[in-house]
A and B are shown apart, each in its own frame.
Chain A
Amino acid sequence: MKLKIFGILVLLSLISSCGDNTPPVDLSPQTKILYLGNGTEPKDLDPHTVTGVPESKILMALIEGLVIRHPEGLDPLPGMAQSWDISYDGKEYIFNLREASWSNGDPVTADDFVYAWNRMLMPSLGSQYPDMLYDVLNAEDFNKGKITDFSLVGVKALDAKTLQVKLKNPAPYFVELLAHYTTRPVHRPTIEKFGEIDTLGNQWTRPGNFIGNGPFTLEEWKLNQVIIVKKNPNYWDAERVQLNEIHFLPIDNVSREDFMFRAGQIHITSSIPTEKIEVYKEQYPDNISISPYYGTYYYRINLNKEPLNNKLIRKALSLSIDRELITEKVAKGGQIPAFSFTPPDPDGYFPPTRLEYNPSKAKELLKQAGYSESDSLTFELLYNTSEGHQKIAEAMQQMWKEALGVNIVLTNTDWKVYLSRENTGDFEISRAGWIGDYQDPKTFLDMMVSDRGNNKTGWSNKTYDGLLEKAAQSTTQKERYQHLYEAEKILIDELPIIPIYTYTRIYMKHESVKGWEPNLLDSHAYQYITIE
């Protein structure tokens, strides 16, 4: 008995003596270390081969492009480029680079950008994001192997500090797009030390090898545990940087992330368990952050399947969706009912369409299409495993049954099965979501052009394609938006996709973090962030 009590006492003392028990978040005002929940483990840290959000958050600390996004309004701020001039026709850009250096002290030159864009566009590198640069003259042809001489591509170093870019069409969003990680420079000697220009899985991204030009340097990368970046004393704007370190913690499990936030192990989460949203709005109104996100949650319709190729049926389906009910009672995360495919953009693009909820009109259209409720049409609704998608799919199933007598078979598959069925056109209706890469309607509308890989619906409309082409050639933003408005109207009239809601970013943020302002792209330049 004595022995047992002794054992328990030893165990208890072991538990309570576990070092200093102050949670790291409480110490952070002194240590100036920011702890971030960062979703899944990054695949790699190479700006030219990665595609994910977790990777982009880390690259934001490590490598800086020509411009950076303003922490609040997303307007481009000078980054590596101190200033830039745009020609009258909007097709030629001259970037004047600042005196800046890589983390090893080498100067950042215009050649670094030419090399990086060459690398990004190499067909043999297999980058999944080359279209980010397709506005550049001949970039697409080079990437698709139609030309092999990179000097024909519209990017040139006029001297060490001057970069000239020629576009194939005016693109008013081009400077903003240059904040995206895919357009950022890489340190040529480091890439070549560990491989060729087009080596996939090049070891230069490992700690110790990594040379960047951003506000932080890569210190440690423990797979499935943590990525630590440290303040870069060689950064051009190092005086502004307040944080000493950022710890990016890969947390792919929402409940664990929630525990970690409550235990003071992280400052900012990447999401919140759906069932906690209501509770936290009450309990932690100052910590929960809900803000619009530049993305749309929608359903894809496969136009190669009968009778979904009938526009009237698609319209009937859309008319019987009560989007407000879905956002308020099902999704519950402050989402905004979508009335267009492109989310409204405070900078000036307001889609002219209005998707309505009108079950009686839906019934009428179904009748016009030659079907009645008693025909009990049956469609399969495909979605990837997730509680959120499941709930919305069930709500849809019910609404369609009630309004149109349509039967919906719910098919819940794992992520890769879902993707492969979507990519091979083996579906009738499927859930989809899209987050814009930069703030411009093009990132949404371009996806629905006939031959685009992400269209996936089999929808093809020559007028629509023509309008997007016209928009690309427009010289003024007003004229351009006019064409895009027309295109959006066609899309919403044809409905190869049925928009449901505009996404929101929902996460928890510790009150000590200052300068982390919500914005449409959820983009946060770390040099503007401090802990108090």
Chain B
Amino acid sequence: MFSLILRRIGIAIPVLLTVITLTFLMVHSAPGGPFDEERAVSPEVLIKLNEKYNLDQPLSVQYFDYLSGILVGDFGPSFRYPGRSVTELISIGLPVTFELALYSILFALAVGLLAGILGALKPNTPLDYIPMSTAMIGICIPSIILGPSLILIFGIWLEWVPVSGWGYMPGDKLLPTLTLGTAYAAYCARLTRGGMLEILNQDFIRTARAKGLSETRVVIVHALRGGLTPVIAFLGPAMAGLLAGSFVVETIFGIPGLGRFYVEAAFNRDYTMILGSSIFFSFLIIFFNLISDLVAAALNPRLRD
């Protein structure tokens, strides 16, 4: 276990360094700069701004300055929001994105596990077909379609919930959670069903039943542990995907999360913010994959080395 962690960290460092270097180069080679404005900035002012943000230095100097900044946790000032640092922007956006991802994954697990287990217990019956085909549709509908549809139905026609915001009005967290969670719920359902079907046909389940254990006990105590392995393996990447991929849902519902800051930064050529959030997202993806590997290893001894 310990060596697994060490090995992962050993891989993570060069990966992060590559991400930083490539992003840095791409950001600086993109045409247009942070201070290109519709109302042309005078040359004198431009010189001042470049000086202030260290952009008058050669690229290599800027690169090493940036790297040494990161080592002490300084991601630099944002170019788009004067007076705000990248760290501040991330600390505003991250809790929101994290909360959204967490609710979505909980929703996905609740719905997915239930549907998956039912499907596995009554295979090839309507109880299996209906949830599973719904799941297939759920996987196929992109959030840019699902989100506005939910808004139209629940927000505008039924007037049950607000159509935009996050913690600004009561009930505004519901539609984004459903929109983001649906596809994951569907995956979860299919993975659970597959995993459970495989386990339920094994000998030790038959033994458990032969011993006269109740069906509930057989399913919950014996089958679930093995049947959920695929779901758990999926959770890590799913969590990383939810965090890094929530920007579409954030845009649809006006959620002030990190995804929106990230995309906005790219459009504004906010160099430091693009770099800061890229590094941060890479870190999250590596971290959640590691966690999910560790949990899977803990549940399944065969994966331990």
**Which residues from chain A sit less than 8 Å from chain B, CB to CB?**
1, 3-4, 7, 14-16, 18-21, 23-24, 41, 43-44, 46, 49, 51, 123-124, 126-129, 144-145, 200-203, 205, 222-226, 249, 251, 253, 255-256, 259-260, 262-265, 414-421, 423, 453-454, 456
Question: Do A416 and B148 touch (CB < 8 A)?
Answer: no
Q: Which residue of B lies closest to A262 (CB)?
A: B156
Q: Which of B37, B48, B83, B163 contacts A123 (CB 8 A)?
A: B48
- Chain B residues whose CB sits within 8 angstroms of the CB of A253 once the complex forms: 251-252, 254
B145 within 8 A of A: no
- Give the shortest distance, in Å, between B237 (CB) and chain A (any CB): 26
- Give the shortest distance, in Å, between A119 (CB) and chain B (any CB): 14
Interface centre among B40, B148, B166, B251 (most CB of A within 10 A): B40
Q: Which residue of B lies closest to A194 (CB)?
A: B83
Q: CB-defined interface of B155-191 with A at 8 Å, one 1/0 digit per residue? A: 1100111111110111100100000000000000000
Q: Which residue of B lies closest to A198 (CB)?
A: B48
Q: CB-defined interface of B69-103 with A at 8 Å, one 1/0 digit per residue? A: 00000000100111110000100110000000000
**Chain B interface: which size bin?**
35 or more
Question: Do A256 and B160 touch (CB < 8 A)?
Answer: no
Q: CB-defined interface of B279-305 with A at 8 Å, one 1/0 digit per residue? A: 000000000000000000000000000
Question: Do B156 and A420 touch (CB < 8 A)?
Answer: no
Q: Which of A224, A260, A419 contacts B32 (CB 8 A)?
A: A419
Q: Which of B81, B252, B264 contacts A256 (CB 8 A)?
A: B252
B41 within 8 A of A: yes
- Give the shortest distance, in Å, between A13 (CB) and chain B (any CB): 11
- Chain A residues whose CB sits within 8 angstroms of the CB of B142 once the complex forms: none
- Give the shortest distance, in Å, between A138 (CB) and chain B (any CB): 17
B127 within 8 A of A: yes
- Give the shortest distance, in Å, between B28 (CB) and chain A (any CB): 13
Given the known A-B contacts A145-B44, A223-B256, A419-B38, are A200 and B89 also in contact in the complex, defined by CB atoms under 8 Å? no
Interface centre among A129, A224, A264 (most CB of B within 10 A): A224
Question: Do B252 and A21 touch (CB < 8 A)?
Answer: no
Q: Which of A21, A51, A249, A259 contacts B163 (CB 8 A)?
A: A259
- Give the shortest distance, in Å, between A415 (CB) and chain B (any CB): 7
Q: Which residue of B lies closest to A204 (CB)?
A: B83
Question: Do B52 and A203 touch (CB < 8 A)?
Answer: no
Given the known A-B contacts A127-B45, A259-B151, A263-B156, are A43 and B82 also in contact in the complex, defined by CB atoms under 8 Å? yes
- Chain B residues whose CB sits within 8 angstroms of the CB of A226 once the complex forms: 168
- Chain A residues whose CB sits within 8 angstroms of the CB of B211 once the complex forms: none
- Give the shortest distance, in Å, between B83 (CB) and chain A (any CB): 3
Interface centre among A123, A144, A417, A419 (most CB of B within 10 A): A419
Question: Do A202 and B83 touch (CB < 8 A)?
Answer: yes
Q: Which of B44, B84, B159 contacts A23 (CB 8 A)?
A: B159
Cα–Cα distance between A419 and B169 once the two chains are bound (Å): 38
B31 within 8 A of A: yes
Given the known A-B contacts A18-B171, A44-B81, A226-B168, are A126 and B49 also in contact in the complex, defined by CB atoms under 8 Å? yes
Q: Which residue of B lies closest to A51 (CB)?
A: B39
- Chain B residues whose CB sits within 8 angstroms of the CB of A200 once the complex forms: 52, 82-83
Cα–Cα distance between A203 and B92 once the two chains are bound (Å): 17
Question: Do B40 and A456 touch (CB < 8 A)?
Answer: yes
- Chain B residues whose CB sits within 8 angstroms of the CB of A453 once the complex forms: 40-42
Given the known A-B contacts A225-B166, A256-B164, are A203 and B36 also in contact in the complex, defined by CB atoms under 8 Å? no
- Chain A residues whose CB sits within 8 angstroms of the CB of B2 once the complex forms: none
Question: Do B83 and A201 touch (CB < 8 A)?
Answer: yes
Given the known A-B contacts A15-B174, A414-B267, are A43 and B164 also in contact in the complex, defined by CB atoms under 8 Å? no
Question: Do B151 and A222 touch (CB < 8 A)?
Answer: no
Question: Do A18 and B160 touch (CB < 8 A)?
Answer: yes
